[in-house]
């Protein structure tokens, strides 16, 4: 994988960035919203307005039900859902709005054997490392069909606890490396604030962006990708490495700044035209 330095939003030349993009793609947790929480009204408004201007993609490690509850269910009436692309479970599935509902375009499910081996490996190594919780907030292991996800505190853990659990990503990265040795034919990556994800080899956020570019017939370089996990071990990083206009944010507040700056830029250029 090519090493890239992803610029932080505050260091970006916004005029140059906005002039080159034709599609805007976003990570979800830590980028558009806090973990498992709906977007705030201001973010929902900005994203809804952007969807009337250009295609919007949500590329998340979460399941499609979370993308609905966190994003699409809180969009404003002006949102153009036909212009929104949902790519859950780290891009291993892809949904479009058709005939009044979100319809699946593709899915890359793991075999039953691979799912079981991945779950056994995650459980064993998490216990060995002392990462398996004595008491959890919901499931610690989740079989999402196309992705197996370990959540160190449980899927429904409070956001504050999740964000405090592994701020340096040290624990998640160590667990991911050990599991990867057990399943070399699969992809193991550090996911959200407390998660490690296992999916098919090569099916990650880079794969999702390539599929999106082909679907929309646009160059990858014209796709803006916004995420908070842009470190080499982060699950947003592969999307940056394939040549997107990638931007790192520290949280939803910065993403809102970016979106509002884009809308202001678009309005100015529309008026000038």
Residues 201, 222 contacting (CB under 8 angstroms): no
Catalytic residue chosen out of the listed positions 27, 166, 204, 236: 27
Residue 27 annotated as part of some ligand binding site: yes
Alpha carbons 229 and 143: distance in angstroms, whole number: 23
Q: Which residues of 237-246 are buried (b: 16+ CB within 10 A; e: fewer)?
A: bbbbbbbbbb
Residue 197 annotated as part of some ligand binding site: yes
Closest CA to 65 of 155, 161, 178, 154: 155
Catalytic residue check, 99: no
The residue to which tokens 């939803």 are assigned: 252
Catalytic residue chosen out of the listed positions 11, 29, 99, 233: 29
Residue 231 annotated as part of some ligand binding site: no
Residue 233 annotated as part of some ligand binding site: no
Catalytic residue check, 120: no
Residue 120 annotated as part of some ligand binding site: no
Alpha carbons 66 and 195: distance in angstroms, whole number: 15
> Catalytic residue positions?
27, 29
- Annotated binding-site positions for alpha-D-mannose 1-phosphate: 144, 195, 197
- Annotated binding-site positions for Mg(2+): 27, 29, 228, 244
- Annotated binding-site positions: 27, 29, 144, 195, 197, 228, 244
């Amino acid at each position: 994988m090519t090493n890239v330095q992803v610029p932080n939003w505050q260091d970006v030349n916004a005029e140059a960035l906005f002039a080159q993009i034709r599609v805007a793609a976003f990570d979800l947790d830590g980028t558009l919203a806090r973990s498992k929480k709906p977007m705030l009204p201001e973010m929902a408004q900005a994203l809804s307005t952007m969807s009337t201007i250009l295609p919007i993609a949500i590329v998340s490690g979460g399941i499609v039900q979370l993308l609905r509850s966190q994003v699409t269910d809180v969009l404003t009436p002006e949102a153009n859902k036909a212009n929104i692309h949902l790519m859950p479970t780290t891009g291993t599935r892809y949904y479009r709005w058709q005939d009044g509902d979100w319809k699946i375009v593709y899915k890359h499910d793991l075999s039953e054997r691979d799912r079981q081996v991945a779950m056994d490996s995650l459980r064993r190594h998490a216990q060995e490392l002392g990462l398996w919780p004595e008491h959890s907030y919901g499931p610690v292991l989740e079989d999402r069909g196309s992705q197996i996800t370990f959540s160190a505190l449980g899927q429904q853990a409070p956001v504050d606890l999740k964000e405090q659990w592994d701020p340096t990503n040290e624990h998640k990265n160590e667990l991911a490396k050990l599991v990867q040795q057990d399943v070399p034919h699969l992809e193991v990556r550090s996911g959200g604030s407390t998660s490690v994800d296992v999916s098919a080899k090569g099916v990650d956020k880079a794969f999702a962006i390539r599929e999106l570019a082909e679907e929309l017939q646009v160059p990858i370089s014209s796709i803006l990708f916004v995420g908070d996990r842009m470190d080499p071990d982060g699950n947003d990083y592969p999307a940056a490495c394939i040549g997107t206009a990638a931007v790192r944010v520290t949280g939803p507040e910065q993403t809102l700044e970016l979106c509002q700056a884009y809308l202001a830029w678009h309005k100015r250029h529309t008026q000038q035209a």
